[in-house]
Amino acid sequence: MFRATSGLVTGVALLATTLVAGGPLSAADPATVLVEDWSKQPEGKTGIPDGWKGQSWGSPKYEFRIVPQGGRKVLHLKSVNDSSTISKEIKVDVRSQPILQWSWQAVTLPKGGDARKSATDDQAAQLYVTFPRFPSQVRSRIISYLWDSTAPVGAVVKSEKTGLVTYVVVRSGPADLGKWATESRNVLEDYKKIYGEAPGEEVGAISISIDSNDTRSAAESYFGEILFRKP
């Protein structure tokens, strides 16, 4: 989950604002923008993966490990009464590449986790898309796609902890635990539905998070390839 005060919301938004200020996207306009496929990460690496940055609040354990699975490398995440988030700088114009595609697997859901309530705002797997807007601490817009324990699939929920984040529940409950799932979301259309307008800025960062501290429980998940693509 994101904190309302200094922390990843602020850090990622500020970072993304700096990136956007650096200049426009390449005129090449590729069909696919790869965020991460873990293939270049050292197998067995623990903690924060290469090319990613950690959060700036609390005492995250970063129980992350690059592991082989099904002939590829993936990121394994675990959490016990902990909240750990990593972010990667990325520039994507969702007007050109609006489809966010990723694979994930939830193994253990935080008991009683529910994104609709601040006191139970824990999830086994969360993928955040940050649209930086100056001043970033109060105007950036962040969409979080998550696998929740309780909130129904399709729910769109404003975070009770910060007005910057809107949750979109992609999967919920234990029915698909232990199974890999590939998701595709039209971020451009989700943005329009949430904010009532098209984004005037590019994506500045992607974040992955796992947390179980509000429910004082445990969570476990995996992330595979993450990319943006044309429809």
pLDDT-derived band of residue 133, with 50, 70 and 90 as boundaries?
A: confident
Query: Over the stretch 17-63, which tens digit does the pLDDT of each residue have?
Result: 344 333 333 335 689 999 999 999 999 999 999 999 998 888 899 99
Calculate mean pLDDT across residues 148-174: 95
- Helical spans, DSSP H, in the chain: 8-21, 136-139, 187-195
Q: Is the pLDDT of residue 6 over 70?
A: no
d(CA 132, CA 137): 9
Query: Over the stretch 85-129, which tens digit does the pLDDT of each residue have?
Result: 999 999 999 999 999 999 999 999 999 999 999 999 999 999 999
Q: Is the pLDDT of residue 11 over 50?
A: no
> Which burial class, exposed, middle or buried, applies to 221 when counting CB atoms under 10 A from its CB (0-12, 13-18, 19+)?
buried
Calculate mean pLDDT across residues 60-70: 97
Sequence-separated (6 or more) residues with CB below 8 Å from residue 157: 115, 116, 151, 166, 167, 169
pLDDT value at position 139? 78
pLDDT value at position 25? 35
pLDDT, mean over the chain: 89
pLDDT value at position 58? 85
Query: Over the stretch 183-203, which tens digit does the pLDDT of each residue have?
Result: 999 999 999 999 999 999 999
Are 169 and 152 in contact by the 8 Å Cβ rule? The answer is yes
Backbone angles phi, psi at 109, to 5 degrees: -95, 140
Nearest to 128 by CA among 152, 163, 100: 100
SS3 63: strand
Are 146 and 125 in contact by the 8 Å Cβ rule? The answer is yes
Q: Is the pLDDT of residue 213 over 90?
A: yes
Q: Which domains does the chain have, with CATH numbers?
A: 8-18+32-229 (2.60.120)
Q: Is the pLDDT of residue 15 over 90?
A: no
What DSSP state is assigned to residue 14? H
Q: Largest alpha-carbon pair distance within the chain? A: 48
pLDDT value at position 137? 62
pLDDT value at position 29? 63
Q: Is this prediction's pTM over 0.85? A: yes
SS3 89: strand
